[in-house]
């Protein structure tokens, strides 16, 4: 079993009980997008493992499954999933660092531009009458 099959299992159990994703979301207070990610096995769209386990516990309780059984199924899938390689982790870390740098530079440039406008060193174009 993989994450997609686990998500399919949750979805089928919910549907057997005649509940919609929105109903589960409303009762559990888990966002509809996270419910969808859980049911579709899109683990990359979900937060850290501790949150996922709590989501599964709440989800299972609402649809009438034994929470511990659902969590055990998830843990079996999670243990079988391959760990990301160090190279992949390093690439992701560098990508995030570049993204943060780009955002910081953009904010800095906007601040400098705003300061120049406020001090009158750069004039904004005036609308034509």
Residue range 55-97, pLDDT digits in tens: 999 999 999 999 999 999 999 998 887 666 677 778 889 999 9
> Is 55 contained in some domain?
yes
Q: Within this chain, do residues 76 and 92 fall inside the same structural domain, yes or no? A: no
Q: Confidence class of residue 125 from pLDDT cuts 50, 70 and 90?
A: confident
> Is 129 contained in some domain?
no
User: What pLDDT is stored for residue 50 in this prediction?
Assistant: 92
Q: Within this chain, do residues 109 and 51 fall inside the same structural domain, yes or no? A: no
Unique residue bearing structure tokens 């979301």 = 25
> To 10 degrees, what angle do helices 3-16 and 67-80 make?
160
- What global pTM score does this model have? 0.63
What is the number of domains present in the chain?
2
Distance CA 51, CA 48 (A): 6
User: What pLDDT is stored for residue 124 in this prediction?
Assistant: 85
Which residues, in sequence order, are CB contacts of 71 under 8 Å at separation 6+? 53, 56, 57, 60
Asked if 53 and 71 count as a contact pair (C-beta separation under 8 A), the reply is yes
């Amino acid at each position: 079993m993989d994450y997609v099959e686990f998500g399919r299992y949750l979805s089928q159990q919910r549907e057997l009980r005649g509940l919609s994703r929105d109903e589960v979301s409303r009762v559990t207070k888990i966002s509809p997008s996270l419910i969808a990610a859980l049911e579709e096995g899109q683990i990359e769209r979900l937060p850290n493992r501790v949150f996922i386990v709590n989501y599964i516990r709440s989800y299972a309780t609402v649809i009438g499954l034994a929470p511990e059984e659902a969590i055990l199924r998830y843990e079996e899938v999670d243990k079988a999933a391959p760990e990301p390689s160090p190279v992949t982790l390093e690439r992701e870390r560098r990508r995030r660092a570049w993204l943060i740098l780009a955002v910081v530079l953009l904010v800095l440039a906007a601040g400098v531009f705003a300061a120049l406008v406020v001090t009158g060193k750069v004039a904004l174009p005036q609308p034509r009458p």
